[in-house]
């Protein structure tokens, strides 16, 4: 059985006292120096464009956590590219008195 590891990345920093920001969670496993992103059932995730597994060969001394965070952020951005900005509250500038 593969050991599934989890990383959390910040996708949006808090913008005020009522905004806690946003995070994305990524799951991965490492076999033979290859980090593979997966779902909670350890099924490898695949790139929507080419169908290839989402992987990264770990270089000597490279942190697997850093590589997993980088891929998690990439996956998150690709999944949210079409909706970029539409889910966020509109921030209006403060204007002088009425």
DSSP letter for each residue of 3-59? --EEEEEEEE---BTTB--EEEEEEEEEETTEEEEE-TT-PBPB-TTT--B-EEEPP
Q: Is residue 89 part of a domain?
A: no
How many other β-carbons are positioned within 10 Å of the β-carbon of residue 47? Answer: 14
Within a domain: residue 62? yes
pLDDT at 94: 74
Q: pLDDT category, 45, cuts 50, 70, 90?
A: very high
Report the C-alpha dihedral over residues 72, 57, 30, 45, rounded to 10 degrees: 50
Domain count, the chain: 1
pLDDT (0 to 100) of residue 19: 87
Q: How confident is the model at residue 82 (pLDDT cuts 50, 70, 90)?
A: low
Structural domain span for residue 51: 5-79
Tell me whether residue 56 is in a domain: yes
Q: Is residue 90 part of a domain?
A: no
User: CA 54 to CA 19: how far, in whole Å?
Assistant: 31
List the structure tokens of 95.
């204007």
Is 98 among the domain residues?
A: no
| Residue at 73 is within a domain | yes
87 is a domain residue: no
pLDDT band at 31 (very low <50, low <70, confident <90, very high): very high
pLDDT digits (tens, 9 = 90+) for 49-67: 899 999 999 999 999 999 9
What is the predicted pLDDT for the residue at 54? 96
């Amino acid at each position: 059985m593969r050991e599934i590891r989890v990383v959390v990345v910040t996708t949006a920093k808090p913008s005020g006292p009522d905004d806690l920001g946003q995070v994305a969670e990524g799951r991965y496993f490492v076999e033979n120096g290859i980090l593979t992103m997966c779902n909670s059932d350890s099924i490898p995730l695949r790139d929507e464009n080419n169908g290839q597994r989402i992987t990264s060969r770990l270089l000597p001394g490279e942190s697997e956590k850093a590589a997993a965070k980088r891929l998690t952020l990439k996956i998150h951005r690709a999944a949210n590219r079409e909706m970029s900005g539409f889910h966020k509250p509109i921030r209006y500038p403060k204007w002088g008195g009425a």
